[in-house]
Structure 1
Amino acid sequence: MSAPTAGLPWRVPGALAATQIVHWGSLFYAFSVLMPAIAAEMGWQRETVVGAFSAALLAEAAAAVLVGTLLDRIGARRVMAVGSLAAGLGLLAAGQVTNLWQLYMVWICLGVVMATTLYEASFAAVTAAFGAQAARRGIAVVVFAGGLASTVAWPLTGAMVTELGWRDACAILALANALCALPHLFLLPRKAQPDTRLVVLQPALVPAVEPGLTDAIRQPRFWGLAFVYAVVGVCTATIAVHLVPLLQERGLGAAATQVASLFGVAQVAGRIMEFLAGRRWSLRATGIVALAIVTPAFLCLASATADWVLAAAVLFYGAANGALTIVRGALPSRMFGTAHYGAIAGALAGCGALARSAGPIAVAALWQQGGGYTSAMLGLAALAVAALAVFVLVTRRA
């Protein structure tokens, strides 16, 4: 059962819902639209340009713990406001690059900025405002809007690149990101205080003294969660990069793009269902059901050729991934408390980000060796089974 939500500061997830669309759309999704234009104008190989984005994801992972610690110490208000301004400066610089090393340097810096502006930072802001028991509801609002970021960013960025060029498009995106500093500064809460209600409401999960990061990483359940987060990261990044060519390999041809677009719609649907079911289902139950759906989805992607089976696999995986985003954001505060949420969630997010940066490369290598995506999809299905088993173990009540 979820905690009552009457009287909660809904301005916080409301503001973050808007800024997450801007930040995710500009820092994450827009790159796939900017990349071909950058490569064409500068004469660089696409793979080389994509390498800058992979470097950004590695930088995000490296910065996750430090940013999480800052979120605990000075609060999301300052961290996210500064991050928004830095995102604006970084995107403005991205539109001025003339050398490959400059492109890599800019995107590595933007990777650090991602850690201060995307989901992990916004989850810390919601947790600080709502407390551990009610944070799930606010997080659901934020990720619901974040699921629309690709739907908004791809066509708008594409139109700007076509009409103005990629350099001016970066300048417009820079302005939008800088403006996000205003709602962050004036609407977000200060740092969270320890949530003593957890001792009464969840005695089996959270100790009376909330552990810091050093204490948390000594616990097997932390590393179990880290493994689950890594598997989810690998699966998500693989779908983002390889779904269209996989569907083309399965014979969908030009329809591959349309079928792949179902993923974003399904994510939003999954988050809506989680929001509605959250009043009756525990986070543990939601996580178990969502992870249980991942394996058959990847098994279908490994071997199916029928259009409707592939479309169903994309829909089911998208819905499961949408629900898992909420579980991933809300679960650390339930298991470890709110006092050190930023550092602990940042460490867990760093594991996911590392896996996210390595996953697509590993799948590409398996594709090269096996002559197709079958072995990679079977491998991901096996990882999903392992993640489900670990999740069941680390979230069970004492």
Structure 2
Amino acid sequence: MPDKGTYRRIVWPFAIAETIIWAAIYYSFPALLLTWEQDLGWSKTELTGAFTVSLIVNALCAPLAGRLIDRGYGRFLFMGSMLLGAALLCALSMITEIWQFYAVWLAMGAAMSGCMYEPCFAIITRSFRENAKRAITLVTLVAGLAGTVSFPSAHALVEMMGWRMTVLVFAAVMVITTGPLVWIACRAADRMAEGRAFVPSQKTRHALRILKTFAFWALALSFAMLALHHGMMINHILPIFDERGIAKEAAVLAISMIGPMQVAGRLAMMAAERYVSTMVISAGCFIAVFGASTALLGTSAMPSLIAMFVLLQGAGNGVVSIVRPVLIATLLSRRNFGAVSGLAATAFMAGTAFGPTLGSLIWEIGGYDLVINLAIAMPLIGLLLLLAAARYPSTVSDEDPE
């Protein structure tokens, strides 16, 4: 069991670094979206298309990033990706054309694949092995406040100096604070992994054999259902509330509480994990999200159900970020965890990227009631896939063929 010194050298630096990285890179986009629309004159559709491209690139690069971490290059990947992200924020401050905006965010997708949750959890799992769950939980508890840091910071800085200087400030904070933290954490993690980390498959094709297993696809698609659901709901929640006659102020307050509910869900998981298994907690995430969508359907008749939606949507999705890497290691592979986690993340990130578009298409066909009904079905499908993956776990990638 890792001691307090190990957590001080690895976990807490990663937690602070991830908070800053998520705040500066990921949440800066929604935080500055309206400002960009007003200042640059491009539509929301044009702007958010760049973010979708970024998430797709992130998904495509994730397996390679995971493979590099398995081979012991996590420190250089993480540092390089973080510095690339900071450099791209600097480039963002100088854009004047829409193609430049897209080029920056396309490259940002590659940077995100090497310095956000997936690579961080892969490095922690490689070092902590079966004790990774608590370390991952602590990282997400702190980094769950990234949105709370990013939105007010961006608003205040834009008011003082404009959005171009704001992204430069974000870049500077990343380099000055996150750089040393990442280096310290990764170096300590490498030392901890010496002699205890699983030796990855020498040939990439051996690690890729996991793609032939039922368990991989069932688990990857189960969490992709939640990602698709969350991406669809969060991006359409304001017009859904508006259609249901809920005041804009109440709607904005409700959305702002989803982040704190994610942290609350993680704290509840820490209290319950000694009594129930990770699989039971995972199933609870899907049931919570199902309950959130069901509550949302009833907000027309009973607006107070908004509170239930916020609680269940936030808590359910907050815990997912913890249990997903744990289940990948348990049901699929510890030896090639980085590569396998990256492959599974491709489906998860694709769900996040295409959720908003799917919501728009369904809305055009049958309105937001149809969107909500689809949202009710998604976690149920995901739960069935999760149970199927647990019933038929795979260890194929932990043994190389002769």
* Contact kept? 1:194, 1:337, Cα under 8 Å: no
- Equivalent-residue separation in structure 2 for 1:49 and 1:289 (angstroms): 35
In structure 1, distance between residues paired with 2:231 and 2:6: 33
Give the conservation status (yes or no) of the 8 Å contact 1:195–1:339: no
Tell me the residue number matched to 1:157.
Answer: 154
Is the 1:302–1:375 contact (alpha carbons within 8 Å) kept by the matching residues of 2? no
Q: Which residue of 1 aligns with 2:396?
A: none
Amino acid of the structure 2 residue aligned with 1:145: V
Aligned to 1:387: 382
Unaligned runs of 5+ in 2: 199-204, 394-402
Asked whether the 8 Å contact 1:12–1:125 carries over to 2, the reply is no
TM-score of the aligned structures, taking structure 2 as reference length: 0.90
Call closer, same or farther: CA 1:365–1:161 in 2, change over 3 Å. Answer: same
Residue aligned with 1:74, SS: coil
Report what 2:305 is aligned to: 309
Equivalent residue in structure 1 for 2:96, among 98, 103, 110: 98
Give, in angstroms, the shift of residue 5 of structure 1.
Answer: 4.7
Give 1:54's aligned residue: 52
Q: How do residues 274-293 of structure 1 correspond to structure 2 at under 5 angstroms?
A: 274-293=269-288
CA drift at 1:39: 2.2
- 2: distance between equivalents of 1:13 and 1:233? 26
Equivalent residues of 2:158, 2:166 under 8 A apart? yes
Partner of 2:6: 9
Helix, strand or coil at the partner of 1:251: coil
Match of 1:248 among 224, 242, 250: 242
Residues 232-262 of structure 1 deviation map (CA, whole Å, 9 limit, x = unaligned): 2112212331222222222211211111222
Q: For residues 292 and 37 of structure 2, what CA distance do their matches in structure 1 show?
A: 34
Q: Which residue of 2 aligns with 1:268?
A: 263
Q: 1:323 aligns with which of 316, 319, 324?
A: 319
How far apart, in 1, do the equivalents of 2:110 and 2:344 lie?
16
Match of 2:400 in 1: none
Residues of 2 paired with 1:177 and 1:216: CA distance? 36
Cα distance in 2 for partners of 1:270, 1:326 equals 11
Classify the secondary structure of the residue corresponding to 1:307. coil
Contact 2:232 2:358 in 1 (8 A): no
1:190 paired with 2:224, answer: no
Deviation of the 1:141 alpha carbon: 0.5
Q: Could you tell me how far apart the structure 1 residues matched to 2:241 and 2:73 are?
A: 43
Aligned residue for 1:84, secondary structure, equals: helix
Look up the equivalent residue of 2:134 and give its one-letter code. Answer: R
Please give the TM-score of this superposition, normalised by the length of structure 1: 0.91
Q: What secondary structure, in the 3-state scheme, does the structure 1 residue paired with 2:42 have?
A: coil
1:143 aligns with 2:140: yes
Q: CA deviation at 1:397?
A: 7.4
1:24-81 CA-to-partner distances (Å, cap 9, x unmatched) read: 1111111112222222222222221111111111111111111111111133222111
The amino acid across from 1:228 in the alignment is S
Residues 194/237 of structure 1: CA separation in 2 closer, same or farther (3 Å cut): farther
Residue aligned with 2:6, SS: coil
TM alignment of 1:1-398, pairs within 5 A: 4-6=1-3, 9-10=6-7, 11-131=9-129, 133-179=130-176, 180-188=178-186, 189-190=189-190, 192=193, 212-254=206-248, 255-305=250-300, 306-371=302-367, 373-396=368-391
> Which sits farther off after the overlay, 297-306 or 46-55?
297-306
1:377 partner amino acid? I
AA paired with 1:140?
Answer: T
SS in 2 for 1:44: coil
Q: Which residue type is aligned with residue 71 of structure 2?
A: R
Secondary structure, counterpart of 2:391 in structure 1: coil
Q: 1: distance between equivalents of 2:333 and 2:47?
A: 41
Q: Is residue 215–residue 331 contact of structure 2 (8 Å, CA) maintained in 1?
A: no
What CA distance in whole angstroms lies between the structure 2 residues aligned with 1:177 and 1:358? Answer: 28
**CA, structure 1 residues 264+212, in 2 after alignment: closer, same or farther (shift >3 Å)?**
farther
Amino acid at match of 1:218: K
Cα distance in 1 for partners of 2:308, 2:276 equals 24
CA contact (8 A) 1:17 1:146 kept: yes
Aligned CA distance change for structure 1 residues 324 and 181 (closer, same or farther; 3 Å) = same
| Distance verdict in 2 for CA 1:70–1:214, change over 3 Å | same
- Structure 1 distance, partners of 2:226, 2:31, is 25
Contact 1:91 1:174 in 2 (8 A): yes
1:301-334 deviation digits (Å, cap 9, x = unpaired): 1343222212212211211111111101222122
- Identity across the alignment (%): 27
- SS of alignment partner, residue 335 of structure 2: coil
Please say if residues 233 and 356 of structure 1, whose CA atoms lie closer than 8 Å, have aligned partners that are also in contact: yes
Secondary structure of the 1:190 match is helix
Q: Which deviations, in whole Å up to 9, do the C-alpha atoms of 1:354-378 show, x marking residues without a partner?
A: 111111101011112223x111111
Q: Distance in 1 between matches of 2:5 and 2:340?
A: 24
Question: What SS class does the counterpart of residue 9 from structure 1 fall into?
Answer: helix
Stretch moving more, 153-162 or 170-179: 170-179
Instruction: Give the aligned residue type for 1:19.
Output: A
TM superposition shift of 1:6: 4.0
CA contact (8 A) 1:90 1:110 kept: yes
RMSD: 2.0
* 8 Å Cα contact 1:94-1:106 kept in structure 2: yes
**Conserved 8 A contact 2:70-2:126:** no
Structure 1, unpaired ranges of 5+? 198-210
Structure 1 position 104, deviation (Å)? 0.2
